[in-house]
């Protein structure tokens, strides 16, 4: 039985990925800040299938301690799913809250590279796989995206750079860069359930389960195949058009 390490597993894509992988015969280390949600996953899926690791990904010391304390059955990581991430605020750069910017950088960039570096020796030894959940925001910017878009551009390209560095190791590396997925993302970003409902209304957006199935597909491909990047969108979403400001 193979083992996956899924960050940000208390909701959305992370939780769906744990459920999907366990249903396919994987064990999962599920991480997040909200212990009660991880406990619910364990109760639902079984302690032999899910190990909860409660920590804030921005706390490198806690992250390191959680990895060091993994039970033997969960210590052999075959798949890292870099899912933890967030967006805060929609203000233009000139009006943005610097604290929001720092939180996004700490979570989407610093925590991701720290976790990846900590698990790389195990992943190399086991010829495992890394799947990073990036975003189309890293490819197509939009007003108010500023640091979130920049952090996701970093995630997208860091993942491709890992692919180059891991040449010859047998480790597979994939960047999944979704468009609109209906999760808690907008609620966290805006603090408004109404704003979240308005954004997704009538769009028929992708779901967390949709992305989780892509993670599973990538993870279970034959070991000689690598998917470099995937960029899924709902049919009702497409690329942003150019804008022109007129005098």
Cα(133)–Cα(123) distance, rounded to whole angstroms? 18
Q: Which of 165, 133, 167 lies closest to 151, judged by CA?
A: 133
Cα–Cα distance, 31 to 224 (Å, whole number): 29
Burial of 172 (0-12, 13-18, 19+ CB in 10 A): buried
Which tokens in the block code for residue 170?
A: 């047998």
200 noted as active-site residue: no
Cβ atoms 83, 14 nearer than 8 A = yes
The token duo for 178 is 């979704």
Which one of the listed residues 140, 142, 148, 200 is annotated catalytic?
A: 148
Could you write out the three-class secondary structure of 176-207? ECCCCEECCHHHHHHCCHHHHHHHHCCCCCEE
Q: Which residues are catalytic?
A: 148
């Amino acid at each position: 039985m193979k083992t996956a390490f899924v960050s940000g597993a208390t909701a959305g894509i992370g939780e769906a990925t744990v459920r999907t992988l366990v249903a396919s015969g994987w064990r999962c280390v599920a991480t997040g800040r909200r212990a009660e949600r991880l406990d619910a996953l364990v109760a639902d899926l079984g302690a032999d299938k899910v190990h909860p690791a409660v920590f804030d990904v921005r706390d490198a010391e806690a992250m390191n301690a959680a990895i060091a304390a993994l039970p033997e059955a969960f210590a052999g990581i075959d798949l890292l799913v870099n899912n933890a991430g967030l967006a805060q605020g929609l203000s233009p750069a000139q009006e943005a809250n610097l604290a929001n910017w720092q939180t996004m950088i700490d979570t989407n960039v610093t925590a991701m590279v720290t976790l990846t570096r900590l698990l790389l020796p195990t992943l190399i030894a086991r010829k495992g796989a890394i799947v990073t959940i990036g975003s189309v925001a890293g490819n197509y910017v939009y007003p108010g995206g500023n640091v979130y878009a920049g952090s996701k551009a970093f995630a997208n390209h860091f993942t491709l750079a890992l692919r180059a560095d891991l040449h010859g190791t047998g480790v597979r590396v994939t960047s999944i860069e979704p468009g609109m997925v209906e999760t808690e993302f907008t609620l966290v970003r805006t603090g408004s359930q109404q704003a979240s409902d308005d954004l997704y209304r009538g769009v028929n957006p992708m779901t967390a389960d949709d992305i989780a199935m892509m993670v599973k597909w990538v993870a279970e491909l034959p070991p000689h195949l690598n998917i470099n990047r995937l960029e899924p969108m709902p049919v009702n979403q497409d690329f942003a058009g150019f804008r022109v400001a007129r005098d």
